[in-house]
């Protein structure tokens, strides 16, 4: 098997329905949860795995050469360059080429458990306590407005994170159902905000 065919096999596995959840989880961990980088990492790991399998079968080992790695690395780098070339996208990514935390949340690049429990449940609980403790209607309305924007960010991110969750599908389904319920909460908050601001 040539090195081109083994790279093709690895790429087709990633883009197809037979993606290995364990290998994908490892790639995500190595890339700090950034899906764009993790894609290339998955291909590299799969190529190494297929190469080791070829060695065990007595075939000539296939190792990714520097040219292949440079091709993948250059494609990954070019994505960052394009991302930073747009002034709007500079709000999304730092000078080091890494997405800001809020960008990772919105793009669903935070782990499902973390984005749901930490950014969703925990922050939401803290926000509800703070809002309920306010005496000024205007202050309450202002904080509700800020939280509604934050909650929208988290809900979009939770949905996206659940869409490419590599674990049991049940958790992804439950997370999406929770997103739907919380969207209803955002709508209720918007109505409440309008009433408070009109008062």
pLDDT in single tens digits along all 199 residues of the chain: 567 788 888 888 888 888 888 888 888 778 777 777 788 888 888 888 888 776 666 555 445 555 555 555 555 555 555 445 556 566 777 766 677 899 889 988 888 999 999 999 999 999 999 988 988 888 888 888 899 899 999 999 999 999 888 778 899 999 999 999 999 988 887 888 787 777 6
Question: Phi and psi for 93 in degrees, rounded to 5?
Answer: -140, 145
Note whether 56 and 118 are same-domain residues. no
pLDDT of residue 7: 83
Note whether 72 and 14 are same-domain residues. yes
pLDDT of residue 177: 96
Distance, CA of 134 to CA of 43 (rounded, Å): 52
| SS3 of residue 153 by DSSP | helix
Note whether 112 and 86 are same-domain residues. no
Give the number of other Cβ atoms within 10 Å of residue 195's Cβ.
11
CA distances from 159 to 14, 49, 115, 192 (A): 21, 32, 10, 25
* Alpha-carbon torsion, ordered 41, 46, 51, 55, to 10 deg: 130
Q: Which two tokens stand for residue 79?
A: 């994505």
Tally of domains in the chain:
2
CB proximity list for 43: less than 8 A, separation 6 or greater: 7, 10, 11, 14, 72
Within a domain: 147: yes
Within a domain: 173: yes
Note whether 125 and 85 are same-domain residues. no
Note whether 107 and 191 are same-domain residues. yes
Note whether 77 and 21 are same-domain residues. yes
Within a domain: 149: yes
Cα angle 50, 52, 55 (rounded to 5 degrees) comes to: 110
Note whether 60 and 35 are same-domain residues. yes
pLDDT of residue 118: 94
Distance, CA of 102 to CA of 100 (rounded, Å): 6
Within a domain: 171: yes
Within a domain: 116: yes
Note whether 26 and 84 are same-domain residues. yes
Structural domain that includes position 178: 103-198
pLDDT of residue 57: 61
Distance, CA of 27 to CA of 29 (rounded, Å): 5
Within a domain: 81: yes
Note whether 107 and 165 are same-domain residues. yes
Does this model's pTM top 0.75?
no
Note whether 70 and 124 are same-domain residues. no
Note whether 89 and 11 are same-domain residues. yes
Residue that is last in its domain, among 26, 59, 93: 93
Please choose, from the candidates 59, 61, 58, 30, the residue with its C-alpha nearest in 3D space to the C-alpha of residue 43: 30
Within a domain: 169: yes
């Amino acid at each position: 098997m040539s090195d081109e065919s083994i790279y093709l096999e690895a790429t087709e596995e990633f883009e197809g329905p037979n993606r290995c959840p364990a290998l994908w989880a490892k790639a995500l961990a190595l890339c700090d949860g950034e899906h764009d980088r993790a894609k290339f990492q998955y291909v590299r790991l799969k190529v190494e795995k297929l190469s080791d399998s070829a060695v065990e079968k007595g075939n000539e080992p296939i190792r990714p050469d520097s040219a292949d790695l440079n091709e993948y690395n250059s494609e990954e780098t070019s994505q960052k360059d394009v991302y930073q070339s747009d002034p709007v996208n500079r709000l999304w990514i730092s000078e080091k080429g890494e997405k800001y935390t809020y960008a990772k949340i919105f793009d669903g690049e935070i782990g499902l458990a973390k984005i749901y429990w930490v950014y969703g449940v925990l922050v939401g609980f803290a926000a509800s306590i703070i809002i309920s403790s306010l005496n000024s209607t205007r202050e309450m309305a202002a904080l509700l407005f800020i939280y509604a924007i934050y909650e929208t960010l988290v809900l979009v991110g939770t949905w996206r994170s659940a869409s490419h969750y590599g674990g049991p599908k049940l958790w992804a389904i439950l997370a999406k159902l929770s997103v739907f319920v919380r969207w209803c909460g955002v709508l209720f908050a918007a109505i409440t905000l309008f009433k408070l601001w009109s008062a």
